[in-house]
């Protein structure tokens, strides 16, 4: 196994936003576990599957998962493929997983069992592993009845490649300080993923104009969905008389209210009360105006610093592949909860869509950095 490099190979510009604290934590957990691979095989498989599924290797500058494992762990392409397949199948082979954790199975023996034996018969072959190597086990499974632990070999099976062991529960979002929400005589709280539907009636002529405009925007490289484009059009009307370069402040105010008693955070509008999504709460920790119980207000990022960051980034979203200039927000690379400061070196400009997507990914990555669930 090759020496583990201190820093991943990367394109700094592309990775500056995607290589978040949770992505780096998952990467470091994998690096640590492979140093004691025999004792930490299950943990290594857990982290490796999570890294591939969440594309952490790309955030660290590696085009493929095999490039990543070769540089970080010294794995060959074949070892990487075997470990990924094994990691995804352990969820349906609890006896194999337990034996790996106890050090009673080698990874090659485990790979033979999960690819050639039905889950119901796995315990028999785990017991036989003490006297059969991987090659002898494979021969026995394929028809040598004398070596088979139950007299006849079980038929080879292929477990679902998408099966994996359960992930730890999602890390809870940090609530945002806001005015108290009245507890009495309020409509019920709707789930965060409930949509608010808006419809328009257009004449045939108006529809043709709308379709033509949408097609032009697509050809110009705008990949946003219809709702995002519509919001951008409204934003352009609001902002057209106020140049971005002279006044980079927000053009809308989204109010998030938090109950100090139950901790519920919600958004209220004419459609009712909606649970605030965790990713939105995380984004609000980066760039929000917080109001205390007595009406005092404090910006997460001082206006002077916010203007400097937006100017430095050219008033454009800095997420790879996005150059949106609307609904810009400031993101903390190191969260405030982890000691990150509202300083230009720790801040980067993102549009609201990329900001939410980054925090959704970060929440998922935080869950993946935990130990494999029992």
H, E, C per residue of 22-63: HHHHHHHHHHHHHHCCCCCHHHHHHHHHHHHHCCHHHHCCCC
Residue 169 has a pLDDT of 35
Question: Quick one: which H or E segment has residue 291?
Answer: strand 289-291
Tell me which residues of the chain have a pLDDT lower than 50. 1-7, 10, 13, 145, 147, 151-184, 241-242, 244-248, 251
Q: What are phi and psi of 138, to 5 degrees?
A: -65, -40
- Looking at residue 108, its pLDDT comes to 86
d(CA 68, CA 63): 8
- Structure confidence at residue 37 (pLDDT): 82
Q: Which residue has the tokens 């919001």?
A: 231
Taking only the tens place, the pLDDT of each residue in 222-271 is: 666 677 677 667 666 655 544 544 444 554 567 777 777 777 778 777 67
Residues 59-81 pLDDT 10s: 998 999 999 999 999 999 999 99
Note the pLDDT of residue 47: 93
H or E stretch at 272: strand 272-275
Given this model, what pLDDT does residue 235 score? 60
CA dihedral (19, 22, 23, 24) positive or negative: positive
Q: What pLDDT is attached to residue 103? A: 84
Q: What's the pLDDT score for residue 262?
A: 74
Sheet strand arrangement including 272-275? 189-190, 272-275, 265-269, 256-258
The pLDDT score that the predictor gives to residue 192 is 62
Strand partners, 266: 257, 275
Please name the helix (run of DSSP H) or strand (run of DSSP E) that holds residue 273, with its range, or none.
strand 272-275
Who's near 57: CB < 8 A, 6+ residues apart? 51, 64, 65, 67, 68
DSSP state of 276: P
Helix (H) or strand (E) holding 298: strand 297-299
Outline where the chain has alpha helix (H).
12-18, 21-35, 41-53, 56-59, 65-73, 77-89, 94-102, 107-116, 122-128, 134-141, 204-219, 226-239, 278-286, 303-312, 352-368
């Amino acid at each position: 196994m090759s020496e583990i490099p201190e820093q991943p190979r990367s394109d700094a510009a592309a990775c500056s936003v995607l290589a978040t604290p949770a992505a780096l934590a998952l990467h470091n957990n994998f690096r640590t576990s492979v140093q004691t691979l025999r004792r930490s095989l299950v943990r290594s498989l857990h982290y490796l599957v999570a890294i591939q599924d969440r594309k952490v290797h790309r955030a660290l500058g590696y085009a493929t998962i095999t490039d990543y494992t070769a540089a970080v762990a010294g794995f060959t392409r074949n070892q990487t493929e075997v470990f990924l397949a094994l990691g995804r199948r352990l969820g349906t082979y609890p006896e194999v997983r337990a034996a790996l954790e106890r050090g009673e199975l080698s990874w090659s023996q485990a790979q033979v069992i999960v690819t050639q034996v039905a889950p119901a018969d796995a315990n028999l072959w785990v017991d036989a592993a003490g006297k059969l190597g991987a090659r002898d086990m494979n021969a026995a499974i394929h028809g040598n009845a004398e070596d088979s632990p139950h007299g006849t070999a079980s038929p080879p099976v292929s477990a679902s490649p998408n099966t994996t062991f359960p992930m730890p529960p999602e890390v809870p979002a940090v609530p945002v300080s806001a005015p108290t929400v009245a507890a009495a005589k309020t409509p019920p709280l709707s789930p965060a993923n409930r949509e608010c539907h808006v419809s328009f009636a257009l004449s045939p002529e108006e529809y043709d104009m709308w379709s033509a405009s949408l097609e032009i925007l697509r050809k110009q490289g705008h990949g946003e969905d219809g709702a995002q484009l519509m919001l951008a059009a409204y934003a352009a009307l609001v902002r057209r008389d106020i140049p971005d370069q002279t006044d980079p402040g927000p053009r809308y105010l989204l109010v998030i209210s938090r109950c100090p008693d139950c901790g519920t955070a919600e958004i209220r509008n004419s459609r009712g009360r909606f649970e605030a999504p965790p990713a939105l709460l995380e984004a609000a920790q980066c760039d929000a105006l917080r109001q205390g119980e007595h009406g005092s207000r404090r910006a997460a990022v001082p206006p002077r610093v916010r203007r400097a960051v937006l100017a430095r980034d050219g008033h454009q979203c800095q997420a790879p592949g996005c150059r949106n200039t609307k609904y810009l927000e400031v993101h903390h690379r190191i969260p405030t909860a982890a000691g990150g400061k509202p300083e230009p070196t720790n801040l980067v400009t993102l549009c609201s869509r990329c900001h939410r997507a980054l925090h959704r990914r970060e929440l998922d990555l935080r869950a993946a950095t935990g130990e494999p669930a029992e």
